[in-house]
Amino acid sequence: MGRMDLSLLADTAAGSGAPLAPRTLVEAHLPEPMLIDLLVRLLARAGELRAGEIACRLGVALSVIDPTLDFLRAEKLIEVPRRGSFDADVAYQLTDAGRKRADEAFDKCRYVGPMPVSLHDYVARVELQSIKGLRVSREAVRGALGDAVASDAMVDRLGSAVNSGRGIYLYGHSGSGKTYLAERMVRVVDGPIWVPHAIHVDGEIIQVFDPLIHHAIDESIETGVLDRQVIGDRRWVKAKRPVVVTGGELTMEMLDLEFDAHSRFYIAPPQMKANNGMMILDDLGRQRVPVRELMNRWIVPLDRHVDYMALHTGTKFQIPFDVNVVFSSNLPPSEIGDPAFLRRLGYKIHVGALDEGGYREVFRQACERSNLEFDQAAADYLIGTLHARSRLPLYATIPYDVISKLRDRATYLGESPRIDPESLRWAWDLYFAADESLGTAPSLDD
């Protein structure tokens, strides 16, 4: 067993779950030339910094960078404008030669931040905190769905699918509530993980941590202290399991590393940011790329739980694909791929119309959300007249979309909203006349 495996076992045995803080550059698994570039770029940006401040900004102990600081002083790239009473209080700044060296470092890469971790350490950490070990109960799924109206059969299908760790394909008519269910299913993805600020591969830096996706857990509040040994390696951020949602804007290019020509470092693609969590691909079929081409991109990740990335230098490497993927689409499974691909989608779950009891409950919730008093007779009219005449199934999104228009009109007229047959028909006509995806609007004429 290698050194990293042993350290991970020690990490787990310690009970903290946090990556162990490295004591030396060797333990940090970072090439010294990359650390030198980071140091001179940091000092070029910040000017004068104390040694303790430098270590803090790089996310490591002072012992990791001390030898490199001594080397830079010996090479006359940095100097000490003032000394403190202890090592961490010694101040450093660039010399003229150091500023020239920093310009060269900026030409290669403009990343300034915590030291990146190695690809090997990243892979080991993702495997250690795998989403595949997540187990959810029926109660957990019910709790995640909240007030979403779903049958016991649907709850059991969703729960089984999440526990499988395999791809989930939700399909059904527009308005059936697929996205609503998917967005609530993410609540079962629970527990903290550790996400690196960045990783390094073949001399290049890839930024992984995204504050819009990785919601950090405040360690100072949780532990009550800021001690480095308690928190662990500060190159990693403790965060909630991530959830990434993409829709019609998704392109094939977005699924590869994004290289910024100005900053000269990479941004991880969405599926890499979603590692140890969940990814929802909504509105499948609405992307500019053909749906089969897009789905073929997922064959290897779904089947082998790995993905392949390439740097602009030509270097290719493998990363874990530890993601619960949920596809949501109006398209039936037969239209998105051949049987070989569909086998890799572990669960194909149809989301259809509600039964009458479920639809009445959704109508009641819609009234509550719109601050309207629920009216049983109004529900009878919506179901028995408007739906019946148009022969439109009882889809879950219709009640709120219709009811909210009554609230909007009342606000405009400066009066209290009311629910009656005339008002419901007014809202119904507006709603479906504007919905071109249904083709011709349902006829409500006698």
Confidence grade of residue 189 (pLDDT, cut at 50, 70, 90): confident
Residue 334 neighbours by CB distance under 10 Å: 10
Q: Distance between CA 196 and CA 22 in Å, rounded?
A: 14
DSSP SS3 for 433: helix
Evaluate whether 189 touches 241 at the Cβ level (below 8 Å).
yes
Bigger pLDDT: 85 vs 172: 172
pTM of the predicted protein model: 0.84
What the block records as the tokens of 18 is 């946090």
Please say whether the beta carbons of 197 and 234 come within 8 A.
no
CA distances to 134, 238, 275, 290 from 279, in Å? 15, 19, 9, 20
| CA distances, 255 to each of 92, 120, 239, 334, 413 (Å) | 41, 21, 23, 24, 48
Give the model confidence (pLDDT) of 9-53 as tens digits. 334 433 348 899 999 999 999 999 999 999 999 999 999 999 999
Q: DSSP letter for 259, please.
A: E
In the predicted model, is pLDDT for residue 408 greater than 80? yes
Tell the burial category of 446 from Cβ atoms under 10 Å away from its Cβ (0-12, 13-18, 19+): exposed
Q: Which DSSP state fits 385? A: I
Check whether 149 has a pLDDT greater than 80: yes
Instruction: Give per-residue pLDDT as tens, 213-264.
Output: 999 997 654 444 344 444 479 999 999 999 999 988 899 999 999 999 899 9
**Nearest-angstrom CA–CA distance, 74 and 410:** 76
Interval 255-280: pLDDT, tens: 999 999 899 999 999 999 999 999 99
pLDDT value for 219: 61
Q: What pLDDT score was predicted for residue 220? A: 57
Instruction: Tell me the CA distances in angstroms from 229 to 16, 85, 175, 214, 414, one per residue in order.
Output: 10, 23, 51, 23, 61
Domains along the chain? 31-112 (1.10.10.10), 146-350 (3.40.50.300), 356-438 (1.10.8)
Mean pLDDT estimate for the chain? 87
pLDDT tens digits for range 284-321: 888 888 888 888 888 889 889 999 999 999 999 999 99
Task: Give, in order, the Cα–Cα distances in Å from 87 to each of 69, 80, 84, 178, 201.
Answer: 12, 12, 7, 59, 32
